[in-house]
Amino acid sequence: MEKIPYKIYLEESEMPKAWYNVRADMKNKPAPLLNPGTHQPMTAEELAPVFCEELIKQELDNDNAYIEIPQEIRDFYKMYRPSPLVRAYCLEERLQTPAKIYYKFEGNNTSGSHKLNSAIAQAYYAKKQGLKGVTTETGAGQWGTALSMACSYFQLDCKVFMVKVSYEQKPFRREVMRTYGASVTPSPSMDTNIGRAILEQFPGTTGSLGCAISEAVEVATSTPGYRYVLGSVLNQVLLHQSIIGLETKAALDKYGIKPDMIIGCAGGGSNLGGLISPFMGAKLRGEADYRIIAVEPASCPSFTRGVYAYDFCDTGKVCPLAKMYTLGSGFIPAPNHAGGLRYHGMSSILSQLYADGYMEATSVVQTDVFQAAEEFARVEGILPAPESAHAIKVALDEAKKCKETGEEKTIVFGLTGTGYFDLVAYQKFNDGQMSDYIPTDEELQASFATLPKM
Ligand SMILES: *Cc1c(COP(=O)(O)O)cnc(C)c1O
The per-residue pLDDT for 318 is 80
| Ligand 1 mean position, distance from CA 115 (Å) | 7
The per-residue pLDDT for 291 is 98
Supply the residue whose CA is at minimum distance from atom 4 of ligand 1.
Answer: 267
Q: At 308, which helix (H) or strand (E)? A: strand 307-312
How confident is the model over 164-188, as pLDDT tens digits?
988 988 889 999 999 999 999 999 9
Does residue 159 sit in helix, strand or coil? strand
| Ligand 1 mean position, distance from CA 271 (Å) | 6
Protein residues with CB under 6 Å of any ligand 1 atom: 113, 115, 142-143, 232, 265-272, 340-341, 385, 387-388, 416-417
Q: How confident is the model at residue 263 (pLDDT cuts 50, 70, 90)?
A: very high
Supply the residue whose CA is at minimum distance from atom 10 of ligand 1.
Answer: 387
What mean pLDDT do residues 355-384 have?
98
| Residue partners of 387: CB distance under 8 A and separation at least 6 | 113, 140, 265, 267, 338, 339, 340, 341, 416, 417
Supply the residue whose CA is at minimum distance from atom 7 of ligand 1.
Answer: 270
| Ligand 1 mean position, distance from CA 415 (Å) | 10
How confident is the model over 383-404, as pLDDT tens digits?
999 999 999 999 999 999 999 9
Q: Give the predicted TM-score (pTM) of the model.
A: 0.97
| Ligand 1 mean position, distance from CA 416 (Å) | 7
Supply the residue whose CA is at minimum distance from atom 13 of ligand 1.
Answer: 417
Q: How confident is the model at residue 337 (pLDDT cuts 50, 70, 90)?
A: confident
Least confident of 39-48, 202-211, 214-223, 231-240: 202-211
What mean pLDDT do residues 68-76 have?
98
Using the predicted structure, report yes or no on whether residue 365 has a pLDDT greater than 90. Answer: yes
Better-predicted residue by pLDDT, 168 or 314: 168
The per-residue pLDDT for 45 is 97
Neighbours of 82 (CB within 10 A): 24
HSE-CB at 137 with a 13 A cutoff on CA atoms is: 31
Highest mean pLDDT among 155-159, 208-212, 331-335: 155-159
Domains of the chain in sequence order? 8-14+81-112+234-448 (3.40.50.1100), 18-68+114-228 (3.40.50.1100)
| Ligand 1 mean position, distance from CA 40 (Å) | 30
Tell me how far apart the alpha carbons of residues 204 and 184 are, in angstroms, rounded to a whole number.
Answer: 19
Q: How confident is the model at residue 333 (pLDDT cuts 50, 70, 90)?
A: confident
Cβ atoms of 252 and 109 within 8 Å: the answer is no
Letter for the amino acid at 207? G
| Mean per-residue pLDDT of the chain | 95
The per-residue pLDDT for 1 is 58
CA 375 to chain centre: 23
| Ligand 1 mean position, distance from CA 405 (Å) | 32
| Ligand 1 mean position, distance from CA 394 (Å) | 16
Supply the residue whose CA is at minimum distance from atom 9 of ligand 1.
Answer: 271
| Nearest C-alpha neighbor of 343 from the set 238, 434, 231, 194 | 231
What mean pLDDT do residues 341-347 have?
89
Atom number of ligand 1 nearest to Cα 388: 11
Using the predicted structure, report yes or no on whether residue 334 has a pLDDT greater than 80. Answer: no
Using the predicted structure, report yes or no on whether residue 51 has a pLDDT greater than 90. Answer: yes
Mutate to test the pocket of ligand 1, among 170, 236, 336, 387 (most ligand atoms within 8 A of CB): 387
Cβ atoms of 4 and 257 within 8 Å: the answer is yes
Residue by residue, DSSP assigns 73-134 as: HHHHHHHH-SPPEEE-HHHHHHHT-S-EEEEEE---STT-BTTHHHHHHHHHHHHHTT-SEE
